[in-house]
Amino acid sequence: EEELEEEEEEEEEEEEDDGPERALEKNPFQPTAGDVYDISSLVGRDLLQLGAGPLVPAALSRLQFRIVRVLEMLEALVSDSSLAAEQLRAERDSLRRELEAMRAAAGPASDQQLNLGPDKMVIDLTDPNRPRFTLQELRDVLQERNQLKTQLLVVQEELQCYKRGIISQKRDQTEELEKEGGGSSASSSSKDSEEKTIIKRL
């Protein structure tokens, strides 16, 4: 009768401990830290009961079942992780092949860029803001512009000198005419026409 009472108490304890038992029934791919603690407490309790004489056979069978279940869960986790690792390796290999194919496709263009050298560049001919002249051509244009500026200044100075000279010649001529007091009209008209032609030329 005592043995029957102990077995009944044990069954009641198992019913009370239904929470930790559920940890062994869960999907092995969704364990939590609480599930791991529940499983370890169940295994620990069964190990303690191995020392109690009359309960040894029942505790031993429960312990054996629980250890087998834990091993099955570990095996499932290991196989799943190895499968995931294999999938990652396959994905890595396919990405490597894709990268090599892209490098091979872009090979000639990249080789041209490598052969350009440090003092060269690629110019897009469709770009409206692209450089159209070399530095030497720009230097030549600037030098020619500066030369033309200096020539213009020289010509302007000469023009000023000519204007001053003509004005002084005109004054001298008018003074001479006034002194002569009435020279021939033909000579004065020819002088006037000469002055007009000189002014027109300027």
Pair (86, 152) in one structural domain? no
Inside any domain, residue 1: no
Q: What is the pLDDT of residues 133-142, one digit of tens each?
A: 788 888 999 9
Inside any domain, residue 162: yes
Q: What is the pLDDT of residues 111-149, one digit of tens each?
A: 555 566 667 777 777 777 777 778 888 899 999 999 999
Pair (95, 155) in one structural domain? no
Q: What is the pLDDT of residues 56-110, one digit of tens each?
A: 777 777 777 878 888 788 888 778 888 888 888 999 999 999 888 888 887 655 5
Inside any domain, residue 112: no
The whole model's pTM is what?
Answer: 0.34
> In which domain, by residue range, is 71 found?
7-104
pLDDT over 70 for what percent of the chain?
Answer: 62
Count up the domains in the chain and report the number: 2
Q: Are 72 and 25 in contact (CB under 8 A)?
A: no
Spatial CA neighbour of 80 closest among 31, 22, 20, 24: 31
Inside any domain, residue 145: yes
Task: Say whether 117 sits in a helix, a strand or coil.
Answer: coil
Token duo for residue 174: 């008018």
Q: Are 58 and 10 in contact (CB under 8 A)?
A: yes
